[in-house]
Structure formats: C-alpha cells, structure tokens
Amino acid sequence: MSVADLTFLALLLPFLGAIVAPLVTRILGHNAAWALALVPVAIFLHLTGFSAEIARGEVVTGGYAWVPSFQVRFSWLIDGLSLTFMLLISGIGALIVLYSGGYLKGHPHQGRFFSFLLMFMGSMLGLVASDSFLMLFIFWELTSITSFLLIGFDHQREAARRAALQALVVTGGGGLFLLAGLIILWNMTGISQFSLLTAFAPQVKASPLYLAALILVLGGAFTKSAQFPFHFWLPNAMEAPTPVSAYLHSATMVKAGVYLLMRLYPVLGGTPAWQIILPVFGAATLIIGALLAVRQTDLKLMLAYTTVSSLGLLVLLTGFGAPYAIEAAALYLVAHCLFKGALFMVAGSIDHETGMRDVTRLGGLRSAMPLTFAAALASAASMGGLPPFFGFLAKEEVYAALYAFDGRAIIFAALAVVGNALMFAAAFAVALKPFIGKRVETPQAAHEAPLLLWLGPAVLALMGLAVALLSGTVHQLITSPMASAIAGEARVVTISLAPHFGVPAALSTLTVLLGIGFYLRLARLRAAIAAALAAIGWGPDRGFDQAMRGLVRLSCAVTRRLQTGRLDIYMTATFTLLAVVLIVPPFLYGELARAPVFPQDIPLHELAIMAIAVIGLVAVILAQDRLTAIVSLGIQGFSVAVIFLLYGAPDLAFTQFMIETLAVVILALVMTRLRLSPSDHRPLRESLPDAAIALACGLGATLFLLKVTQAPFDTGLSDFFNQYSKTIAHGANVVNVIIVDFRGTDTLGEIAVVMIAALAILSLVRLRAGSLRRIADNDPDAEEASR
Amino acid sequence: MRSLILRTVAPLIVGLMVLFSIFVLLRGHNEPGGGFIGGLIAVAALSIYGIAFGVETVRRAIVFHPLAIAGAGLMLSTLSGLVSMVFHVPFMTGLWIYPVILGEEVPLSSVMTFDIGVYLVVVGAVTSVALSLEERGED
Amino acid sequence: MEPVFSLLTGIFLTIAIYLMMSKFIIRMLMGVVILGNAVNLLIFTSGRIMREVPPVIGPGLDVPAGPVANPLPQALILTAIVISFSFFAFLLVLSWRAYSTLGTDNTDEMRVAEPDGTPLPPLGY
C-alpha cells in the first residue's frame, strides 16, 4: 500500500472503529477501551511518519476524484497546521478513549458512546485534513452532528437534550454560513482547494466580495469556536459526559473555528477588516469568558468558561497581525489542548469518585487522590503560565506579540493580562481548592481514581512539562512548521525556558500576581459578578430559548395561515393562481392571440350540439334537485361524445358515450342513497368572487388556446404515426395502433392506474364501520391499544 | 328493478352485447374500436344483467372475482410486452405470427394480446366498482 | 373551427372551476367530471380540428388517402377518458364514505385531520 492509501485508511479507520465499537464493548466490557484506543494510536503512529517532511517545511497532499463533473475531490492537505491538529486529535483521542473506559464503566450504552466518540474523531480528523472546500464543510457538519449525539448522550434528561439541540443549531447553523463563504471564495477564484488558494490571496483581498466572504467564514468560525456572542452553547454542552467535554469542548472541536481562521489566514488575513473584527471579538470573548468562569462554582462550568476565554485569546492572536502573534497562537493552542484536556479529566475524576462537582463543597482530597492532585497541579501551573511548563512559554510569546507602545496594543495587552489573571485564578480554583484544606464530606467516600481515569490527565500533564523542557525539538517538529503554515511563510519559534527579561516577562509576572490576588478574593469576586449578571438579567442563552419558541410559534402561525384545513380556500388559491398564470404573461410579453376569425359556414347541427352542451353545463349549475343535476351532467357529456364523432374521432365518441353512461349510473346510485342536494348554498358574496375567478380561468384558457392554434402546427409526430401505422405496426386504425403499439408502455401504466383505482374503491367500499370510526377519531394511540 | 320485460329480454341483450364487445375489441386494430371501448361495452352488459337479476347472479355468471379478471388482464398485457425479451428486441415491440387455421391465414400478435389485456382490465376494474356500488344499494 | 372550440373549452373550464370552488363535495365531483371534458377538449383543439375523416387507413392502402384527423390527441384523450372515469369513481366512493362517517357533505366541516384550535406544538426540548 502506498502512503496515500494508508492516509486514506487512517481517515477511514475511526469510522470503521465506530462500527465495531458496540460489538467489542459487548464482548470486553469497559476493557474494550484498550482495544479501541488502538485506532487513534495507529493513526497517531502513521502521522508521525510525516513529521520529518513537515519539519523540512514540505506539504503532503493526496486524494481521489470524488465528483469529477464538479471538480470536487476527496483530498487532504498535511502541513504543519493540520499535522499538529491531527496529532493532537489522535493523541488526546487515545487518552480520552481510555478515560471513557473507566468513566462510563458499567454504563449500559458504553458501546454506543465509544461509537459516537470514534465517529467524532473521524469527522474531526477529516475536517483538519481536508484540502477541498466541500470535504471540509461535510466534516465540519459531521462534527456538529456527532457533538449533538455526544452532548445528548444522556438523553433522558431535558437539560442534555436542550444542550445538544442548542449546540447543533448554533454550530450547524454556523456551518451553513461557512458553506456560503467558501462558495463565494470558490466563485471568486475558481479554486476549491486550500492548497491552491494561497496564490490567489491578492485577488481575493481586492475583490468587492471580500468582506462578504470574510463575514460568512467568520460566522462559521465564531459559532464553532464559541466566540461572544455565540459562546453560550459551550458551557451548556457540559451536560455531556466529562470525556466528551475534555475532548470535544476543550481540546478539539471548539478549535475547529480557530483552525479555519488559521487555515485561511494567508488568504483572508492581514486586511484592516481582519485586524479589527478578530481582535475585538477575541478580546471580548476573552474577558467575558474569564469573568463568567470565575463566577461559577461547578468544576466543569468553570473550565468551560475558561475554554471560551482561551478561544477568545486564540482568535485575538490570529487576528492581531503583529510579529510573534502567529507563533504565540500556535504555542498557546498546543499548550491549551494539553492542560485543558487534563484539567477536564481531573474534574471528571473528582466528580466520578466523590459524586460532587461544586468547588465550594470540596476540600482536602489531596491525601485520598494524590495522583490526580499531582496531574491537576501540573496542568493548572501550565494554564496559569508558571515555569517550567509549556503554558509559560505560550504566555511569554503572547505578551511578546501583544506588547507594543501604541494605543491599540496597550488596550489589548491590558485586556489579555486581566483575562489571563482571571484564568489563573480559575485554574487554581479547580486544581487546588478541592485538594487542600479540611476534608469535606462528599456523597461518595473519595479514593484514588482507577488507572484508566488517572492515566489520561497524568500523561497530558507530563507532556506539558516535557514539551517545555524539550522546547527546541518541539519547535523544530511542531510549532515552527505550524506557525509557518498559518503565516504562509517561514517562521521560526525560538522561545525556551532560558531566563530572559523584558516587558513580556514583566507582564507575565504581573499576570501571576494579579491572578493570586483574584484567587484569594475569589468568593467576593464571584458575588460581584453574580450581582452584575443579575442586574443585566438577560443573556444569549435565554435569547436562544426565546428564539426557538418564537420559531415554533411563527412556523405554527404560518402553517395555520397557509394550511387552514379548508378545501375551498385551497381551491380558491389554486384557481386564482391559474387565472393569473394564464392571463398575465401574455399581456406582459405581448404574446396575446390575434383577434379570432370565426368561420361563417358552421353547419347548423354542429352549432346545435355545442349549444346543447352549453345548456347542459348551465343546467348543472342551476339544478335544484338531484335528477336534474344528473341528467344535465349526462347531457354535456353526451354532447362532447357527439362533438368527437363529428370531428373525426369515432373511437373517442364511443368511449365517451360508454363512460358517460356508467358515470351517470354510479352517480345516481350514490346520490340517491346519500340524499345529497346538488344545489348550491353559497351566498352571493361568495359565489360572485368564485364566478369571477372561474370566468378569468375560462377566459385565460380561451386566449391561450387561441394563441396555440394560431401558431404554426408541427405535424411531424402525426405524420410519423400515419405513415408507419400500417407499414410497420400492421394496423389500419391509427389511434388504436398508437395506444397498443407505439405508445404501449404508456397504456400499460394507464391500465395499472385503472386497476389500482378499482382496488382502492373496493377497499373503501368494504371498510367496516368500526374501522372507519377509529380513523375518524384520529387517535393513533387508541388504534394501537385496540390491536 | 324486478321488471318482467327486462328479465325476459336481458339474457338476450346481454349475450349480444358481450359478443359485440369482443367483436369491437378484435376489429379495433383496423377499424374504430379496441380494448377500452370493448371493455366498456362488456361492463355495460354486465351492469344491465345485474340490474335485471341482482348482483349475486352476475358474480356467479362471471365465475371469477372481477378484480381477479382485471389482474389477469394486467398480467397478460405485461407479458405481451415481455415476450419481446425472448427475441432480443426492446420491451413492447409488436410481434406477429401468421398461422394458417382451417385454410385461412389468421394474423396473431403480441399487440392483440396486449389489447385483450386492456379489455380484461377495463372489464374487471369497472365491473368491480359498479357491482360493489350496486351491492351497497341492496343493503 | 379552432376559435369556436377555444371558446367552448373556455366555457367548459369556467363551469368546471365554478363548481369545484363550491364547499359541497357532490358539486365538486360534478366539477371534476366537467373538468375532465374541458381538458380533453383542450387537447383535442390544440391538435387542430378536422371534420369527419377519422384516422383510419383504407383497405389496400399503406398510408391514409388524403388528410385525416390528427390521431395523436385522440390516443391521448382515449386513455384520459378512462383514467378520469376511474378517478371520478374513486372520488365518488371516497366522498360517500366521508359523508357516511362524518355526517356532512360540507368540506368546511370535515376537520378530523386538522381540527380547529389545535394547541401549539410543545415548546420544550
């Protein structure tokens, strides 16, 4: 197998794993995690094979034709950016699979959970590997759908269902914006592959549609990456089991929006619009997320809001456009995946072992859960930006990027310092508070988490330390290629743990001091923010509920207006439209028929029969009793039969004759039995508009037919039938030959319709009265019960 | 409708009409007529028979359930189309044979059997409707 | 002759539509029957009118001698007549069933499937 085939297989493997996961879990129980973790491990190993090429700054592409007629390819693009993401997804994915094995041990649907999780992994890998726009969009929406399934995993709780739907509506809806944006880019350049798009960057930026494309793409990225004001779905998504929160809602999926911004940075980035919109929204998200995080007492919610905050910082950096900003974004993204994934798993372990997630009712767990405590502390140190952890490097680089002596930079640097300090406080509130102090009673007696539960956080925390110590190698293999891929030009990341002094270090120290201050005043800070929020009293989360209710009400009202359930309204609408369609276009386009020339030599008997037909028609309308109505109906039908006979259609005449007879007979049978009155009970105010519409239709049809018959007639088909009826089909009656030979397949369909109509009629006639009543009650439950 | 005159004349009329319907069916290829018209004439005949003697008598007289007749007709028509498969020509291609029966060349064709199928469908389906409605009338 | 037929078709269509806009099923049914005739006349007229000469090839000939009526619309109408009859019969039985079950022939009162004043669908999740 070639490398391309293996890569394709690697992209497919999670989905194959998802298929077998329930079966494996049924056989192995929670230990299936060990077997299923092989899937991400195999992908991880395959991907490390690319690292040498990527470190040299090369790009690996491959793929297959997918929809050749639209030049759509199933193709992947592996560069520093996507490789980093894929390594994080598969690496953390392996740990998460193991963690889920312990976390959901004994859950009746653990197999389903593994299946959803692997499906998500496959979607996320596909998303970051995609080279083609459409493939990216499809995987983008697939991550939304799998995230919906995972958040709503505990679907018996309404809160979980609501959170799942909310995430789907927000992120899936954002995906549609993204699609529109990508299509604009596609249209602008004729290119549908990211790898080829960079060359068109000047053309895109100069295009009048640039702003539209940018805003639409941002609509996708901001919803996915929970930027203010779309941040509300992310904390709600904490209804999901903790492995999902750790994986989707901190390490991977929520970064998809940031990934997209980074991927499109060389094409869309660097313009004034980009450098205003992104930092402003990013900074707002950073501050609001951090404030809301400090306000929470639930471990997972605190972490969720700090994730929002971190995503804001990433967007801010991606849009900032200063030296080091891209490098800082790359470093911070990797660091965040490591420490936030670990902290979420720690929170889950505490919850799992104690049955309690409220930080104010936890304490003194350090002796009961030493390993978890160690992992928590290391991760929090990384998150707080303390040396010697990776988070420290990231934060130094962030300040190096943000600090400058102009007004704009000072504002953003100040906001970043406050946001980071708040995150520092939140990090230690999660990682320190539950473990120190006096032991607090919890619903379950706390003890150390089992291997499957502490392994993940421990590995991630150690990684946070190791990559900082080995920063030179890591920069060469991961962060430099990633920053280069984002920037679209070679970048070298150099920051290390070596002591250095300057403004960034000072800002970093200030952050830590401020963070310690916030940590010590946490309770007061929390009360102040809660009071402020209560004063505002409305948030986008409530807005979402209001919007959903409004949507239901609106669609209900519209449906009731359009589908009144009253047949005469449907009829009136249909025929009004028919009249408009028949009459208006000829006037608009000057296609009116010429004044007709009525022939003067119509034989009297023909005029008479037409007059009889019209008399019959009028009599049907005026009839006051059943007999008159039926007879009048018969008169117009027989007149038509005679007209057919007079104008060279004996077959039609005979058929019409027989049919009219039968129709009159069965109509009489039914009408006499039902004692239905044929007369009209319409008041004049209804019958006049009805008559007007009917007249308009009739007039329109006449005009239409006049125009049609004035056009030259193409006799090609008729000549064909006349010519070959005898010579090929051996029949002298051309009409019959058309029916049974030339157009025999049509006739076959028509007699099948006759047959089906007869079957339907027979079953209607044979219905028992009892079954009819049940249908009339229209109560499926009662029907079900009576079976 | 228990009229004595109708009851006396009905068998004769009905017999003649059914015969006429088959005549119309078979001549349809060369003269006005065909499966649809023939079938409707036969339905009219059966309806008259039903009016004279009651629905049960008609059901006994035609032996099979009307819908079974219609089904058989639909199948005959479909098979007439499928015969062409044996000869590797497209579906519904007309096929003709001219066997000599009693010294007379008789043209037979898949087109004719198709038309007979149409006839049977019309007879079966419409009779079934008419009979079931008449039956309800006697309730 | 076509202008006369156009006018006739228009009259048929007017009457059919007027009947179909009634609220009473039996009048709607009669409208459907007339609508069938109107459409057949429409097809017949658009195929151009030719007096008295049916499209039948005389004995011993291979093609019709002289102009004949257009066979194509006739073939279309022939099947249309039978189909519209089946349709009419079905509608008739359906409305009879509806009448005997619901006790009304007024479509405004046939509200089993979509009753008035149904509550809003659930607003929760």
Cα distance from B29 to chain C (closest Cα, Å)?
A: 10
Which residue in A644, A691, A715 is closest to C18 by CB distance? A691
Question: Residue C56 pairs with which residues in a beta bridge?
Answer: A733
Say if residues C98 and A567 touch (Cβ distance below 8 Å). no
Cα distance from A13 to chain B (closest Cα, Å)?
A: 46
Q: Does residue A313 have a pLDDT over 90?
A: yes
Closest CA relative to residue A141, chosen from A207, A220, A31 = A220
Question: Residue A601 pairs with which residues in a beta bridge?
Answer: none
Which residue in A633, A739, A772 is closest to C30 by CB distance? A633
Residue whose entry in the numeric block shows the structure tokens 């007039």: A699
Q: Which CATH class is domain C2-51+70-108?
A: mainly alpha
Residue whose entry in the numeric block shows the structure tokens 């030959």: A737
Cβ of residue A723 closer than 8 Å to a chain C Cβ: yes
Question: Residue B104 pairs with which residues in a beta bridge?
Answer: B101
The set of chains that have 3 or more CB pairs under 8 A with B is A, C
- Give the residue numbers spanning the domain of B35: 4-137
Would you state the pLDDT for residue A150? Answer: 94
Q: Tokens in use for B4?
A: 């004595």
Cα distance from C63 to chain A (closest Cα, Å)?
A: 5
d(CA C107, CA A423): 67
Say if residues B31 and C56 touch (Cβ distance below 8 Å). yes
Give chain A's end-to-end CA distance (angstroms, integer): 58
What phi, psi does A733 have (nearest 5°)? -85, 100
Residues A612, A617, A619, A620, CA torsion sign:
positive
Please indicate whether, in this complex, the C-beta atoms of A722 and C63 are within 8 angstroms of each other: yes
Instruction: Please tell me what DSSP assigns to residue C90.
Output: H
Cα distance from A745 to chain C (closest Cα, Å)?
A: 12
| β pairing state of B108-109 and B96-97 | antiparallel
Q: Say how many CB pairs under 8 Å bridge A and C.
A: 298
Would you state the pLDDT for residue A404? Answer: 73
Please indicate whether, in this complex, the C-beta atoms of B30 and A732 are within 8 angstroms of each other: yes
Cα distance from A323 to chain C (closest Cα, Å)?
A: 47
Higher-confidence residue: A162 or A667? A162
Would you state the pLDDT for residue A776? Answer: 47
Chain A residue numbers with beta carbons less than 8 Å from the beta carbon of B46 are none
Cα distance from C35 to chain A (closest Cα, Å)?
A: 11
Say if residues A464 and A338 touch (Cβ distance below 8 Å). yes
Please indicate whether, in this complex, the C-beta atoms of C56 and B32 are within 8 angstroms of each other: yes
Please indicate whether, in this complex, the C-beta atoms of B37 and A762 are within 8 angstroms of each other: no
- Report the residue of chain C nearest B29, measured CA to CA: C56
Condensed to tens digits (0 to 9), the pLDDT of residues A445-467 reads 778 888 888 899 999 999 989 98
**b/e map C69-106, b = 16+ CB within 10 Å:** bbbbbbbbbbbbbbbbbbbbbbbbbebbbbbebeeebe
Please indicate whether, in this complex, the C-beta atoms of A667 and C12 are within 8 angstroms of each other: no
Cα angle vertex A633, ends A630, A637, to 5°?
A: 135
Which residue in A658, A659, A755 is closest to B125 by CB distance? A755
Which residues, 6 or more positions from A13, have their beta carbon under 8 angstroms from its beta carbon? A39, A42, A43, A122
d(CA A332, CA A493): 12
Condensed to tens digits (0 to 9), the pLDDT of residues A682-720 reads 777 778 889 999 999 999 999 999 998 888 888 888 888
Chain B residue numbers with beta carbons less than 8 Å from the beta carbon of A666 are 129-130, 133
Amino acid making up residue C124: G
Cβ of residue B137 closer than 8 Å to a chain C Cβ: no
Condensed to tens digits (0 to 9), the pLDDT of residues B66-100 reads 999 999 999 999 998 888 888 888 787 777 777 77
What phi, psi does C119 have (nearest 5°)? -70, 165
Rounded alpha-carbon distances, angstroms, from residue A545 to A169, A227, A304, A551: 12, 19, 20, 10
Chain B residue numbers with beta carbons less than 8 Å from the beta carbon of C81 are 36
Give the H or E element holding residue C34.
helix C25-46
Which residue in B35, B78, B128 is closest to A762 by CB distance? B128
d(CA A335, CA A420): 14
Q: Does residue A579 have a pLDDT over 90?
A: yes
In A600-730, beta strands by DSSP E: none
Partner C, chain A 532-551, Cβ-Cβ below 8 Å: 548-549
d(CA C53, CA C41): 18
d(CA A690, CA A696): 10
**b/e map A692-719, b = 16+ CB within 10 Å:** ebbbbbbbbbbbbbbebbeeeeeeeebe
Rounded alpha-carbon distances, angstroms, from residue C100 to A175, A239, A764, A776: 53, 54, 12, 11
Please indicate whether, in this complex, the C-beta atoms of B92 and A745 are within 8 angstroms of each other: yes
d(CA A288, CA A285): 5
Would you state the pLDDT for residue A405? Answer: 67
Please indicate whether, in this complex, the C-beta atoms of A161 and C125 are within 8 angstroms of each other: yes
What totals of helices (H) and strands (E) does chain B contain, helices first? 5, 4
d(CA A336, CA A310): 8
Please indicate whether, in this complex, the C-beta atoms of C52 and A651 are within 8 angstroms of each other: no
Closest CA relative to residue A692, chosen from A567, A583, A565 = A583
Would you state the pLDDT for residue A39? Answer: 94
The average pLDDT across A377-390 equals 89
d(CA C89, CA A669): 12
Q: Does residue A387 have a pLDDT over 70?
A: yes
d(CA A694, CA A689): 9
Cα distance from B13 to chain A (closest Cα, Å)?
A: 16
Substitution target from B27, B40, B120 for chain A, most A beta carbons within 10 A: B40
Would you state the pLDDT for residue A353? Answer: 87
Closest CA relative to residue C114, chosen from B90, A765, A66, A562 = A562
On the question of a cis peptide bond just before residue A229, with omega within 30 degrees of 0, the verdict is: yes
Q: What mean pLDDT is reported for chain A?
A: 88
Chain A residue numbers with beta carbons less than 8 Å from the beta carbon of B107 are 730
Domain count, chain B: 1
Please indicate whether, in this complex, the C-beta atoms of A764 and C93 are within 8 angstroms of each other: yes
| β pairing state of B100-101 and B104-105 | antiparallel
Cα distance from B5 to chain C (closest Cα, Å)?
A: 30
- Report the residue of chain A nearest B93, measured CA to CA: A741
User: At A73, is the secondary structure helix, strand, or coil?
Assistant: strand
d(CA B48, CA B37): 17
Please indicate whether, in this complex, the C-beta atoms of B36 and A739 are within 8 angstroms of each other: yes
Give the H or E element holding residue B54.
none
Instruction: Quote the ipTM score.
Output: 0.92
Please indicate whether, in this complex, the C-beta atoms of C93 and B126 are within 8 angstroms of each other: no
Question: Residue B96 pairs with which residues in a beta bridge?
Answer: B109
Please indicate whether, in this complex, the C-beta atoms of C93 and B30 are within 8 angstroms of each other: no
- Report the residue of chain A nearest C40, measured CA to CA: A640
Please indicate whether, in this complex, the C-beta atoms of C75 and A565 are within 8 angstroms of each other: no
Any idea which of A151-160, A613-622, B43-52 has the lowest mean pLDDT? B43-52
Closest CA relative to residue C5, chosen from C40, C32, C42 = C42
Which residue in B36, B125, B129 is closest to C78 by CB distance? B36
Would you state the pLDDT for residue A733? Answer: 86
Chain A residue numbers with beta carbons less than 8 Å from the beta carbon of B31 are 732-733
Closest CA relative to residue A746, chosen from C77, C31, C113 = C77
Please indicate whether, in this complex, the C-beta atoms of B125 and C86 are within 8 angstroms of each other: yes
Cβ of residue B31 closer than 8 Å to a chain C Cβ: yes
| β pairing state of B96-97 and A60-67 | unpaired
What phi, psi does C50 have (nearest 5°)? -140, 125
Q: Does residue A576 have a pLDDT over 80?
A: yes
d(CA C30, CA A629): 9
- Report the residue of chain B nearest A674, measured CA to CA: B137
Q: Does residue A787 have a pLDDT over 50?
A: no
Say if residues B130 and A665 touch (Cβ distance below 8 Å). yes
Condensed to tens digits (0 to 9), the pLDDT of residues A139-183 reads 999 999 999 999 999 989 999 999 999 999 999 999 999 999 999
Would you state the pLDDT for residue B1? Answer: 53
Partner B, chain C 66-85, Cβ-Cβ below 8 Å: 78-79, 81-82, 85
Please indicate whether, in this complex, the C-beta atoms of C82 and B122 are within 8 angstroms of each other: yes
d(CA A127, CA A142): 9
Q: Tokens in use for B93?
A: 């291609």
Please indicate whether, in this complex, the C-beta atoms of A747 and B118 are within 8 angstroms of each other: yes
Q: Tokens in use for A480?
A: 């430099």
Condensed to tens digits (0 to 9), the pLDDT of residues A559-569 reads 888 888 788 88
Please indicate whether, in this complex, the C-beta atoms of C121 and A552 are within 8 angstroms of each other: yes
Would you state the pLDDT for residue A448? Answer: 82
| Surface-to-core class of residue A724, CB atoms within 10 Å of its CB (0-12 exposed, 13-18 middle, 19+ buried) | middle
The set of chains that have 3 or more CB pairs under 8 A with A is B, C
Would you state the pLDDT for residue A752? Answer: 92
Substitution target from C17, C53, C101, C112 for chain A, most A beta carbons within 10 A: C17
Which residue in A673, A739, A748 is closest to B81 by CB distance? A748
d(CA A732, CA A691): 46
Please indicate whether, in this complex, the C-beta atoms of A690 and C21 are within 8 angstroms of each other: yes
Cα distance from B89 to chain C (closest Cα, Å)?
A: 24
Residue by residue, DSSP assigns B81-100 as HHHHHHTT--TT---EE--E
How much of chain A, in percent, has pLDDT values that exceed 90? Answer: 43
| β pairing state of A60-67 and B100-101 | unpaired
Domain spans, chain C: 2-51+70-108
Q: Does residue A267 have a pLDDT over 70?
A: yes
Domain spans, chain A: 564-593+681-711, 607-678
The average pLDDT across C93-118 equals 80
Chain C residue numbers with beta carbons less than 8 Å from the beta carbon of B34 are 78
